[in-house]
Every structure is written in C-alpha cells, then in structure tokens.
Amino acid sequence: MKRALVTGAAGFLGSHLCDKLLANDIAVIGMDNLITGAMSNLAHLEENPNFSFVHHDVCEFIDIAEDLDYILHFASPASPIDYLKIPIQTLKVGALGTHNALGLARAKNARILVASTSEIYGDPLVHPQTEDYFGNVNTIGPRGVYDEAKRYLESITMAYHRYHGVDTRIVRIFNTYGPRMRLNDGRVIPAFMGQALRGEDLTVFGDGSQTRSFCFVEDEIEGIYRLLMSEYHLPVNIGNPDEISILDFAKEIIDLTRTDQKIVFKPLPKNDPLQRKPDITKAKEILDWKPNIGRKEGMQRTFAYFKSLTKEELKKVEHRDFTFFKT
C-alpha cells in the first residue's frame, strides 16, 4: 500500500484530503500542530488502521521513519483573521515549513504537492485569473504575510524541482467551502451562516460589490487529487468560476436560511481583493476536471453541517486565542 504524509491534516482541507487518499487505498500519516486545525476533524479516522496522526510543527525538522510515496503540504493558517493575528507563524510555515517538507520529499524520493492559493494574485488587475498572471500584491500590507508566504512556497518548490529534481506539484486553491469549516474563522461563508443561525444581522464589508467564486470542498479535493496523480509540475488553478458579488451572496444566504435578518455594511479591510475568479482552462485540459456541485446544492449541504453544531458551538463567536503559540 502506498503512503502519504498530509501536513495540516486537522484543518478543513487537510482532513478532507485524508479521506480522499484513504478512499483510494493510500495510507495516511496526518501531521498538524493544531494552531488552527482541530482533532474533531479527524475523529472519524481514529479507528482506521491505515491512518496515524503526529502532533508536530512542520517549521521544525520533520522526522518520518516510514517510506513515503506522496507528501501533501497543506499546513498554514488560511483565514485573514488567522494570519493577521499570527503573521510571523504564517510566514514561517510558508518558508521553513515548505523547506522542511521539500527536504523530506527529496530524502524519501516522494512526489510532493504544495498548497498555494488565489491570494498570490493579490488584488488582480486581470480577470479571470490565469496561471501565467504574476499578480498585484502589496508586499508590506497586513495581508501580505499570507500572499508572500505562498509566493515563496511556489518559488522554493520550483527551485527544488529544477535544482534537485524533486517531483513537485503546485495547486492554486480558490475560495473553498463545506463541512468542517470553522464557524468563527472570519471567512464570509461561515460568518454569514453563523450570523443567520444566531439571528444576527449579516455583515457586509464595503458596498458588497466585490466578487468571489466559491468551490464546494468535494470538487476542490477531486481537482487536487487529480493534480497529484498527473504528470504536470507547473501551477494549476482549482476553483469554481461561478462568480457572485458578496452583497448578492448575502441575499442568497438569507433565502437559504429562511431568516429575515438585515444586511449591515462596515468599512472594507485594507487590500481586500475586489474580484476573484479562476480561469480553469488548464484544469479542464490537463486534469479533465471541472466543478460539478453548484452553489445552491453546496450551500445547502454546508448549512446542514452548521445546523448540526451544538448551541454552545454556535454561540462561540470569539476568534481562536493564539497567545500560547510561539513565533
């Protein structure tokens, strides 16, 4: 049986990746320092003989005794509130963590797929965004820590590919949603759904004209898996190009949840991208992939997940405390 290491395994995407790999008869070692991940995302795998978990910070040397066929490097804060609160940790996992993961891939002769992001495009001046667009990023802005961490991740990955011959893959992930998202992680979908379920007004930043394209997690994971199994080493966008304004999306959430909340407007955060939409031509041509789950079905499934949370979990609106993590 082949074996994979998944860093960030207790996170939203990482935990779904573990499921996908196991379903395809690949044993999984999950690794996470739980700074933003949660063991509850992996609880269903506790009795699986082909899954094991290692509590470890990938910014430190990664010591794995077993042979590895694949490494999927998904360790990183991913929500703006996370990386604004722990900016140094965000930069370190993109730099040191990626360096350690690539070094392990070289030592084990393993294929490595690294998780990049649509944020490398910054506030794009090209729409939709193709993989050959270099981006429009404010390197010294507060959001720049995440953007630059991921741009560095891509650079060092390509350096290891060219200089050391490491078998690498780079996925640029666009906005993804679904079960296991943290309700209080600050991103728009859990924020809207949490507010609706608690009977609060929905908060829209700016005038709501900024756009996003949301991909259901099941589709996203399928695209990532196909890229892992492909022979293509350059970056590939994986996302859903079905674009919607945040204001229209808020209205959809009110309709979905059958609530009568108002929409309230607050100032737009600095450097918040005004538009985001993937060009997925490469994914279609190289991976024979496109998203299959529309926003209506995906949101219904996601809302059902959030409705299943306890009242205590729904009431927890404060963000995670990071004071006990070293920088």
The two structure tokens encoding residue 34:
């739980």
Residue with tokens 């996925």: 171
Catalytic residue among 146, 160, 177, 225: 146
Residue 136, φ and ψ in degrees, nearest 5:
-140, 85
The two structure tokens encoding residue 127:
């729409």
Q: Report how far residue 13's alpha carbon sits from residue 180's, in angstroms, rounded to the nearest whole number.
A: 8
User: Is residue 198 within 8 Å of residue 315, measured between CB atoms?
Assistant: yes
Expressed in angstroms, the distance from the first to the final Cα of the chain is 38
Q: Report how far residue 192's alpha carbon sits from residue 188's, in angstroms, rounded to the nearest whole number.
A: 6
Query: Which three-class secondary structure state does DSSP give residue 270?
Result: coil
For residue 324, the surrounding DSSP H or E stretch is none
Residue 24, φ and ψ in degrees, nearest 5:
-105, 25
The two structure tokens encoding residue 153:
């991740």
Instruction: Find how far residue 141's CA is from the centre of its chain.
Output: 21
Q: Report how far residue 196's alpha carbon sits from residue 254's, in angstroms, rounded to the nearest whole number.
A: 7
Residue with tokens 């935990």: 15
Q: Report how far residue 196's alpha carbon sits from residue 304's, in angstroms, rounded to the nearest whole number.
A: 13
Question: Closest Cα partner for 94 from 7, 134, 152?
Answer: 152
The β-bridge partners of 177 are 216
- Annotated active-site residue 146? The verdict is yes
| CA distances for 143 relative to 16, 231, 240, 268, angstroms | 26, 33, 23, 13
Query: Which three-class secondary structure state does DSSP give residue 64?
Result: coil
Residues classed as catalytic:
146
